[in-house]
Amino acid sequence: MKKCIIIMNPESGKVKNLESKKDFYDILRKHDYDAEIKYTKKKKDAINIVKNLPEDIDLVISAGGDGTLNEVVTGNMQRKQKLTLANLPMGTTNDVGNMYGFTKDYLKNLELLLNGKIKKIDVCYINDTPFVYVACLGDYIDMAYNTPRELKKKYGRIAYILYGLKQLRNNIHSYDIKYKIEGKEHIGKYSFFFITNSSRIAGVNDIYYDVKLDDNLFEVAFANIKTKKEMLKMLFLINNMDVKDIPGITYYQTNYLELEFLNKPKTSWCIDGEEYNVWDNKLIFKVNKSTKMLMPRENIKKLFQEENKEIYEKKE
């Protein structure tokens, strides 16, 4: 049988005694996998677990939220011999899982996954730290990692709204920056920064209408929102338009970005839903395509340009 390691975050929203679920193991055995569950106990545990796995592992499944997946990918990127990864979403928001085409039923998701297809995905970096789908900075963004876990377990996604409402009395800060992109230098003043490789962020679908996970590119969006009224208007537009078409947003698609802050931000960066608290005044964003991901077939045609190329060549 094939060897499967499941990295499970017991603090994630939907993980509860999963190892005792007979149906869960039956599905794995049906697909010829002998599975072992390894639980994380603290932050960065998943990084070390994946980094130190033997080379004969056929599949590593991240069972948790987007932050757990980030750690699994990070551990894999630190290996000489990369392993094939998979995401079984069990967090609160599950942006990546929803983008991939998973449902809310973890048993159905496991079937979708094991009947899926292995694709090579772009992995983005902020300096030397990988991120799977988003690196962002700005006021209120800290709700992704500061919302109390007890609230998330009790209220799910609504917990973020409750925490965000509590923060609304704060001012919105803007930052003077210099950045270099596509060989040109720019100076600007912005309050929100989003570097992404995803069509879904913070539970909002179709942020971008045509994101590809294998094009060696990521999306950049800067906005200078000064008031809460402007922020609410922007949130409405984001729910109804492609971000790159919204007035007031500076948009790029690139594979390399140099970003320098002339005044230190008041909050930490958020990468894949977790706090990135290693501060550096100068940041470099880039792409490294070297991770294989087993994923459902549901949205593959939409998310991979190589898949569409293969279909076109077959027709020819």
The pLDDT value given to residue 313: 42
Closest CA to 120 of 272, 256, 286, 303: 303
Q: What average pLDDT score do residues 1-15 get?
A: 83
pLDDT in tens, 167-217: 665 678 899 999 999 999 999 999 999 999 999 888 788 888 889 999 999
pLDDT in tens, 142-157: 666 655 566 555 555 5
What's phi and psi for 53, nearest 5 deg?
-70, 150
Which of 55-64, 268-277, 305-314 comes out lowest in average pLDDT? 305-314
Provide, rounded to the nearest whole percent, the portion of the chain with pLDDT above 90.
57
Q: Where residue 111 falls among pLDDT bands split at 50, 70, 90?
A: very high
CA dihedral 199, 125, 181, 201 (to 10 degrees): 20
Give the N- to C-terminal CA distance of the chain in Å, as an integer: 38
Domains and CATH numbers, the chain: 2-115 (3.40.50.10330), 129-287 (2.60.200.40)
DSSP character string of 144-157: HHHS-HHHHHHHTT
Q: Where residue 280 falls among pLDDT bands split at 50, 70, 90?
A: confident
Asked if 191 and 174 count as a contact pair (C-beta separation under 8 A), the reply is yes
pTM above 0.75, yes or no: yes
